[in-house]
Structure 1
Amino acid sequence: MRLLALTAILMLALDQASKYAVIWGLGLIHVGTIPVLPPYLVFHMGWNTGINFGLGSSADARWILVALALAICAWALNWARRDPRPIVAVSTGLLVGGALGNVIDRVIHGAVADFLNMSCCGIVNPYTFNIADIGVFLGAVGLILSPPEKTRRKG
């Protein structure tokens, strides 16, 4: 559980520090867009009140989404408690740290602060995301690719 906690704390800190540095430090909240390596990487300010890709953003689901994120964290922590493999600990830490980063945004700002926009090869991506989203995605993929090992029956 120590590896899980360390991963979650690092993910949460990286997410919150990146948001603070880019949104407030670089003034993205005021300028709206900062080309970094266009079109591959552009900082573009976005406030996501919905789930993902703006889904559910028309309804004020702030507290429902906070509760859902916390429930998913509890479920993942329960899974990790029963599975001592390091890949499960790291994956759960990434998922939990990222989810908590977005929960903090929802509680403080009423929406998740997104600022990363990446496009490539003539495909223009209209969506923004953040470091927490990367953690949630990588953590979920890690857990999906690490199903619980089946125990053998004695007999």
Structure 2
Amino acid sequence: MKLTKRSIYIILVIVLTIAVDQISKICVRNTIVGRTDIHPGERISLIGDAFILMNVENTGAFLGMGSDLNPTLRIILLLILPIVVLAFVLRHILKDTSLDNLSLFAFASIIGGGIANVYDRVVYGSVTDFFFIDLGGVFRTGVFNMADLSVTTGMIILVIMSFKKKEKEA
């Protein structure tokens, strides 16, 4: 594969996404894990009750779904399938030269976040989640990490771009 500006851009976004995620998880593990005054699942206020830091080791996928699966199914659904899907998406964005930079950014963010969480599952046996937002019942998240944020942001960008494309065509 010839390294073009486009492929360097894709690789850079993926690598930066993985780096930000892994650095944030290292900081959380070093700050929270091993401290005797903080227990698993305990909340640490960052900004009042709205932005909370905590350490949750998630053996499943989104919001812990799949953590009760038998080990073989968990390997297939949480390791093998994501790796195959991420490889196909990467192949697609490297080959499809019609994609604009924002769509490339979105896909690369999804790939980087996916790789970061798969890495955690392989190396640690679980994914470290640590951030929780509760805006007084108006908006409330599950516990998530920077990789989850990258995947979600990428998906939102793709949905918005899809609507804009349909508007243009109409």
TM-score (norm 2): 0.77
2:128 is paired with a residue of what secondary structure? strand
1:146 is paired with a residue of what secondary structure? helix
Greater shift in the superposed pair: 110-119 or 56-65: 56-65
- The CA RMSD measured in Å over matched residues stands at 2.3
- Which residue in the other structure is 2:68 paired with? 58
- Residues 98 and 136, structure 1, Cα contact 8 Å, conserved in 2: yes
Matched, 1:70 2:83: yes
Deviations 1:108-144 (A, max 9, x none): 1111110001111246847310000001111122233
- Residues 62 and 106, structure 1, Cα contact 8 Å, conserved in 2: no
The change in CA–CA distance for 1:126 and 1:5 in structure 2 (over 3 A counts) is closer
The change in CA–CA distance for 1:99 and 1:107 in structure 2 (over 3 A counts) is same
Return 5+ residue gaps in structure 2 as ranges. Answer: 1-6
Q: Distance in 1 between matches of 2:133 and 2:33?
A: 16
**Aligned pair partner of 1:10 in 16, 23, 35:** 16
- Tell me which amino acid in the other structure corresponds to 2:90: L
Shift of 1:89: 1.5
Q: Which contiguous aligned blocks of 4+ residues in structure 1 show a shift greater than 4 angstroms? A: 123-126
Shift of 1:42: 1.1
- Which residue in the other structure is 2:32 paired with? 27
- Residues 66 and 74, structure 2, Cα contact 8 Å, conserved in 1: no
The change in CA–CA distance for 1:4 and 1:40 in structure 2 (over 3 A counts) is same
Matched, 1:113 2:118: no
2:64 is paired with a residue of what secondary structure? coil
- Residues 50 and 57, structure 1, Cα contact 8 Å, conserved in 2: yes
TM-score (norm 1): 0.84
Shift of 1:145: 3.4
- Which residue in the other structure is 1:153 paired with? none
Q: Distance in 2 between matches of 1:67 and 1:143?
A: 24
1:7 is paired with a residue of what secondary structure? helix
Q: Distance in 2 between matches of 1:36 and 1:28?
A: 17
Return 5+ residue gaps in structure 1 as ranges. Answer: 151-155
